[in-house]
Chains A and B, each alone.
Chain A
Amino acid sequence: MPRRLLPRFVAIMMPVSVLIVSVAAFIGRALPARSGWTTDERALLRSLSLASLEPLEPDPTNHYSDDARAAALGRALFFDTRLSGNGKVACATCHVPAQDFQDGTPLGHGVGVTGRRTMPIAGTAHGAWFFWDGRADSQWGQALGPLESAVEHGGTRTQYARVVASQYREEYTKVFGAIPDLSGLPAQAGPVADSLWRAAWQRIAPTRREDISRVYANIGKAIAAYERTIQFEPSRFDRYVNAVLTNGSTADAFSADEEAGLRIFIGKGSCANCHNGALLTDDHFHNTGIPAAAGVAVDSGRAVGVRSALNGEFTCVSRFSDAKPDDCEELRFATTDGPELLHAFKTPSLRNVSGRAPYMDAGQFRTLEQVVDHYNAAPRSPLGRTELKPLRLSAREQAQLVAFLKTLSGPTIAVSPRP
């Protein structure tokens, strides 16, 4: 090229090249390749689909986990308000079956008000840790926490053993064996916050305390046997993935925005880093810089939760557990310290997320739009350090992500335990 023409060529080509890149980028955004998923992406989509969920294995800590009689007893206990200090609170008070087993309020309301959001139940039996901070390592251990919490059920294990003895003697005996003699025991006694009830518990002979605690543990195991039956059914997303993988029905197709939102979910949004697997959770704990809720102290999360799990009365390694020591690896090899535990909370499943506002550990966000906006902005954490980095999603991309999240809803059903 003659030397004098070069500056003119550059002058023309510079804006042209910028235009080409811009147009390419615009086309890429405006017209996502419909169902043009790569092999890696298809493998990832398959892993997120409910069809990839492995069958629920028996819970080694709960010998009765798949006992239909235990599940039937647990179901009755789950809805029984007599299992509370004021006779008005059942598990189902906060875990409302018609609302995906949660209550739609920022904080749980039992006998008093809790400091955290009620968690849903479906599919949780597949996980290793329970509660937002993972302070229980089994589903039955989880069920026992709220029963003796002063702000949730507000009663004691002595009271609950009496309820079982008077209302469920036959059902209990068939599963767990004879109920111990409870005569002469105080109405309320247990290792709870109330000092009078705690003192009453200390006055009971150790062997009787052990008997009562075993009935209490079995109440948890029965409730867990019921909770294990609560599972997710396929969502539109699952039908879409099935259609993508099998070149199946276009009736299951996503809209352009939903498909773009899914691309952001597994790509630019990095959502699927933690919301992975068929239940869209890695069952681990992350500090995502969620602000403290109004009127609630900044929550230490997993940093305290793991300590509670290790020192818990009803853990995998406790004498009330049916597990062998080798079965308790999650507890034995849990990360117990480090800055990453501070203000870290369990990754919740995103299944049915759009019907489950408000969001986060204390219902800090009212809408999915607010949730996505938070992840996009990645603000500083009120405690510890957030794992998030700003996503730089456009307003349109954020809306597409929300559109995708709304495809994750499906029925929640109680399946029968295996015979």
Chain B
Amino acid sequence: MFALRVLIELVLLAVTMTLNGCMLFMKPPADLDYSRTRTSAAGVYRATIEPQGDSIPQGKLHRWTLHLETAAGAPVDSAVIAVDGGMPQHGHGLPTKPRATRDLGNGDHLIEGMKFNMGGWWVVKFRVNAAQGTDSLVFNLKL
């Protein structure tokens, strides 16, 4: 049984080494939540991202709408929103500096300057400061 375990471990090691060597096809963590609606870290807000267009393009500037509401479902219009993000497996940030540029009403906020210059796993983080308090939201994307 010991030998079998050694064999299995060696095979797993070989597979892992192969995967590690292939950054482009490096698998993101299996349990990632890619949903477009997320709850903020401390549960203060719920937000939904709506990229404009059918899908999130690679290598093209585009806009998002961020719909923001309280945990109870009331739209949050007046908020200071900071956008950040990057590729955790590559160790770099977003190629641009997106900003929330316009309050569209009904809890919708226009996010301009979104761009993803590579394929793979990206995270986009919003830090929201509004009457209900400051909290952060993280969205995972796979391009």
Report whether chain A binds chain B.
Answer: yes
Taking CB atoms and an 8 Å cut-off, the chain A residues in 1-26 that contact chain B are 6, 9-10, 12-14, 17-18, 20-21, 24-25
Q: Is the interface of B mostly helix, strand, loop or mixed?
A: loop
Contacts of A282 in B (CB 8 A): 59, 95, 117-118
Given the known A-B contacts A273-B24, A274-B118, A330-B61, are A340 and B92 also in contact in the complex, defined by CB atoms under 8 Å?
Answer: yes
**For the complex, is B36 an interface residue (Cβ under 8 Å from A)?**
no
Query: How many residues on chain B are close to A (CB under 8 Å)?
Result: 33
Taking CB atoms and an 8 Å cut-off, the chain A residues in 319-338 that contact chain B are 329-330, 332-336, 338
- Find out whether the CB atom of A25 lies under 8 angstroms from the CB atom of B24: no
In Å, the complex CA distance between A398 and B7 comes to 30
Number of A-B contacts (CB under 8 A): 94
In Å, the complex CA distance between A408 and B36 comes to 38
Contacts of A270 in B (CB 8 A): 23-24
- Find out whether the CB atom of A21 lies under 8 angstroms from the CB atom of B61: no
**For the complex, is A44 an interface residue (Cβ under 8 Å from B)?**
yes
**For the complex, is B93 an interface residue (Cβ under 8 Å from A)?**
yes
- Find out whether the CB atom of A13 lies under 8 angstroms from the CB atom of B3: yes
- Find out whether the CB atom of B113 lies under 8 angstroms from the CB atom of A329: yes
Given the known A-B contacts A335-B95, A335-B97, are A17 and B25 also in contact in the complex, defined by CB atoms under 8 Å?
Answer: no
In Å, the complex CA distance between A312 and B108 comes to 34
**For the complex, is B11 an interface residue (Cβ under 8 Å from A)?**
yes
Contact for A273 among B3, B7, B118, CB less than 8 A: B118
Encoded as 1 (CB less than 8 Å from any B CB) or 0, chain A from 264 to 291 comes to 0011101011101100001110000000
Taking CB atoms and an 8 Å cut-off, the chain B residues in 106-141 that contact chain A are 112-113, 115, 117-120
In Å, the complex CA distance between A252 and B71 comes to 58
In Å, the complex CA distance between A14 and B22 comes to 28
- Find out whether the CB atom of A21 lies under 8 angstroms from the CB atom of B96: no
Given the known A-B contacts A6-B2, A329-B112, are A334 and B97 also in contact in the complex, defined by CB atoms under 8 Å?
Answer: yes
How far is the CB of B97 from the nearest CB of chain A, in Å?
5
In Å, the complex CA distance between A333 and B10 comes to 48
- Find out whether the CB atom of B7 lies under 8 angstroms from the CB atom of A13: yes
Contacts of B32 in A (CB 8 A): none
Taking CB atoms and an 8 Å cut-off, the chain A residues in 162-196 that contact chain B are none
- Find out whether the CB atom of B14 lies under 8 angstroms from the CB atom of A277: no
Contacts of A387 in B (CB 8 A): 90-92
How far is the CB of A263 from the nearest CB of chain B, in Å?
9
- Find out whether the CB atom of B10 lies under 8 angstroms from the CB atom of A10: no
**For the complex, is B21 an interface residue (Cβ under 8 Å from A)?**
yes
- Find out whether the CB atom of A276 lies under 8 angstroms from the CB atom of B3: no
User: Closest residue of chain B to A268, judged by CB?
Assistant: B21
In Å, the complex CA distance between A274 and B87 comes to 13
In Å, the complex CA distance between A266 and B106 comes to 44
- Find out whether the CB atom of A44 lies under 8 angstroms from the CB atom of B119: yes
**For the complex, is B72 an interface residue (Cβ under 8 Å from A)?**
no
How far is the CB of B20 from the nearest CB of chain A, in Å?
9
- Find out whether the CB atom of B24 lies under 8 angstroms from the CB atom of A333: no
Given the known A-B contacts A273-B23, A282-B117, are A336 and B97 also in contact in the complex, defined by CB atoms under 8 Å?
Answer: yes
**For the complex, is B6 an interface residue (Cβ under 8 Å from A)?**
yes
**For the complex, is A392 an interface residue (Cβ under 8 Å from B)?**
yes
**For the complex, is B58 an interface residue (Cβ under 8 Å from A)?**
yes
Contacts of A330 in B (CB 8 A): 61, 96
- Find out whether the CB atom of B14 lies under 8 angstroms from the CB atom of A333: no
> B interface vs A, CB < 8 Å?
2-4, 6-7, 10-11, 14, 21-25, 58-59, 61, 90-99, 112-113, 115, 117-120
List 5 tightest A-B contacts by C-beta distance, closest first. A333-B113, A13-B3, A17-B7, A282-B117, A267-B22
11 additional A-B residue pairs with CB within 8 Å, beyond A6-B2, A12-B3, A387-B90: A10-B3, A17-B6, A128-B61, A272-B24, A273-B90, A276-B117, A282-B95, A332-B113, A333-B98, A335-B94, A335-B96
